[in-house]
Amino acid sequence: SHPPHGFFGLSQDWLIGITLQAVTLSIMFGVFVFLIKTSGAHVLQAKKQKVAARSYQGIGVSFMRLVLRVAGLRAAYLFLWFIVPYYYLFSARACRSSAQYWKVVKPEMNFISRQKSILRQLFVFAQVLVDRAYQRGEKDLKFKIVEGAGIPEFKQTLKNSPQGLVAMQCHLGGWEISMSYFTQRYLESNKKMVAVMFGQGGAHEHSSLQKSRPNFEVAQFNQQKDTIMKLRSYLEKGDLVGLMADRPVGRSYELIPFCGKLGLFDSTGIRLANLCKANVFFIFSVRLGYKEYYVNNIRAHLDTLIDQSLSNEDKVVAALKIYAELLESYLKKHPEQWFNFFPFWSETLF
C-alpha cells in the first residue's frame, strides 16, 4: 500500500491532524454564530437550502474543471485541502457511513483516530474523483496502470470466449479508471464495455466517457422485465458487461459474511452469468499514487470452486462469498479506498 503524499514536504498525517483541529474550531465558531443569528431571525426553509446546496455544488465542480484545465492535476489536489473539510462538515450521510465502516474494520479505534481515518478516506476519494474528471473526455489514458496477475487470463478469455464476460466491480479505488483502461487496451473494435447503471438518476453520469469512446456504453437497469434480456443480448454479442456488486439497489441481493459482519451484496451479476453461461471476472482497482493505479481481473472459476450439487440459489451465495473474501483482502491492504457511502451493513448476526 502506498500512503498518500502530503504537500510541501509535510506528511499527510500531520496535515490531517491540523485539518481536524481546524474543523473542530470551525464547528465551535459556527455554533456560536448560529446561536447569535437565530436569536432574532428565522431559519431558512429546507427547500431553499437544498437549492443553494445544488448551486454551490455546481460551482465547485465547474471550478475544479477550470483548475484542471488551466493549472493541471497537482494544483487540483492542492485545492482539495479546502474542499474536503467542507464536505466532512456538511455531508452527514457520507461521514455517517464512513464512521460505520471504520467501526467495522477497525473497532479498536477511538473517536479521534476514527475522525482522522474518515478525513484520510475522504481525501483519497476526492483525489480519485479528480483523477476521474482528468481522464474523462480524453481519448488516451492519462494514468500508469500496474497490472495484476489475473490480467493475462482476462485478456485471453475476452478474446476467445464466444460469449461476453460479466465483470463484477466494486466501489474500491479507481473503478472508472479501470473501465477506461479496458476499453482502450483490450477491447476489439467490434466489442463494447457496457457499464450497468441502476435506476434513472445516473443516466448521464458517464456521458463524457461515452462520447470519447465509441466502444463504451451505459445500460440502464431499471427493474423492468426486459432489462435482463437487454443485458443478455450484450453478452451474446461478446461484450463486457460491468456491474457493481457492493451496492444492492433492488431485490436481488444476499447477506454475505464480510469483515466480521454481514454485508448486502448484489447478486445480479452472478445470476446473469448463470443464465447466459458467461464467464465471471472480479475486478479490483486501487490508487497507488500520483497518476498510478493497480488493476486486477480475477477469473471466478465457479464451476470448479463451487460444489455443483448445490441448488442454484446456494451457488449464487457461494459465488458471492468468494467475491466478498477477495474484496476483504484488498480492503485490509487499502482500507482508506472503500468508497461505498450508502447503507451496506446488516445488523443481523451470523
Task: Calculate what percentage of the chain has a pLDDT beyond 70.
Answer: 75
More confidently predicted of 110 and 37: 110
Q: Residue 62 and residue 93: Cα distance in Å, rounded?
A: 23
Instruction: State pLDDT tens for residues 197-216.
Output: 876 544 445 555 555 566 78
More confidently predicted of 331 and 247: 331
- Buried b or exposed e, range 210-229, using 16+ CB within 10 angstroms: bebbebbbbbebeeeeebbe
Instruction: State pLDDT tens for residues 113-164.
Output: 999 999 999 999 999 999 999 988 687 899 999 999 999 999 999 888 888 9
Residue 68 · residue 76 · CB < 8 Å = yes
Question: In this predicted structure, what is the pLDDT of residue 203?
Answer: 44
Question: In this predicted structure, what is the pLDDT of residue 224?
Answer: 62
Question: In this predicted structure, what is the pLDDT of residue 17?
Answer: 63
Does position 267 have pLDDT exceeding 80, yes or no?
Answer: yes
Query: Predicted confidence band at 284 (pLDDT cuts at 50, 70, 90)?
Result: very high
More confidently predicted of 107 and 40: 107
pTM: 0.80
Q: How many CB atoms lie within 10 A of CB 42?
A: 7
Instruction: State pLDDT tens for residues 11-63.
Output: 666 567 666 666 655 655 454 444 444 544 443 444 444 444 444 455 666 77
Question: In this predicted structure, what is the pLDDT of residue 174?
Answer: 93
Instruction: State pLDDT tens for residues 308-328.
Output: 889 999 999 999 999 999 999
Please state the domain extents for the chain.
Answer: 12-135, 144-346
Question: In this predicted structure, what is the pLDDT of residue 324?
Answer: 97
Q: How far is CA 324 from the centre of its chain?
A: 15
